[in-house]
Amino acid sequence: GENVEQHPSTLSVQEGDSAVIKCTYSDSASNYFPWYKQELGKRPQLIIDIRSNVGEKKDQRIAVTLNKTAKHFSLHITETQPEDSAVYFCAAQNAGNMLTFGGGTRLMVKP
C-alpha cells in the first residue's frame, strides 16, 4: 500500500520567514495530494491540494509543488505569521481513492 513520509516533524521559524514542509510517497499511481492544517483541539482543515497533472499551485501565501518523477511534494508558506502555527499534514490519494496521511509537522512561528 501507499506510504507517506513527512519531514520535518517540528519546524520553528521567525515571523516573516518562509517555511517548507516536504513529503514523499511510494505509490506511483497516487494522483491527488492535499494538505491539512490542524490547530490545537480542532479538526484538520484542507488548505490546499494539487493533482498529479499539475506541477505547482499557489494560493496567496501558500503554495504546493509536486515532482511526480521523484514522488515528492512540498508545502511552502511565505511571510509566516503567528496564526500559521499549527500541525500540518500531507496526504496522498491512490487509485482506490484512499488517502494516506503523513505523520504531521508541528510548525511554530515565533513573533
Partner 1 sequence: SQTIHQWPATLVQPVGSPLSLECTVEGTSNPNLYWYRQAAGRGLQLLFYSVGIGQISSEVPQNLSASRPQDRQFILSSKKLLLSDSGFYLCAWSVGSEKLFFGSGTQLSVL
Q: Where along the sequence are the contacts to partner 1 (CB under 8 A)?
A: 32, 34, 41-46, 49, 89, 91, 93, 97-99, 101-104
Which CB atom, from 27 or from 49, has the smaller least distance to partner 1?
A: 49
Which CB atom, from 80 or from 102, has the smaller least distance to partner 1?
A: 102
Q: For the chain, what percentages of helix, strand and coil (3-state, to nearest 5) are there?
A: 5, 55, 40
- Minimum distance, C-beta of residue 71 to partner 1, in the bound complex (Å): 19
- Minimum distance, C-beta of residue 59 to partner 1, in the bound complex (Å): 14
What span, in angstroms and rounded, lies between the C-alpha atoms of 89 and 66? 15
Rounded to 5 degrees, what angle do the CA atoms 13, 75, 28 make? 145
- Minimum distance, C-beta of residue 104 to partner 1, in the bound complex (Å): 5
φ and ψ at residue 84, rounded to 5 degrees:
-80, -10
Which CB atom, from 14 or from 53, has the smaller least distance to partner 1?
A: 53
What span, in angstroms and rounded, lies between the C-alpha atoms of 84 and 78? 10
Which CB atom, from 20 or from 101, has the smaller least distance to partner 1?
A: 101
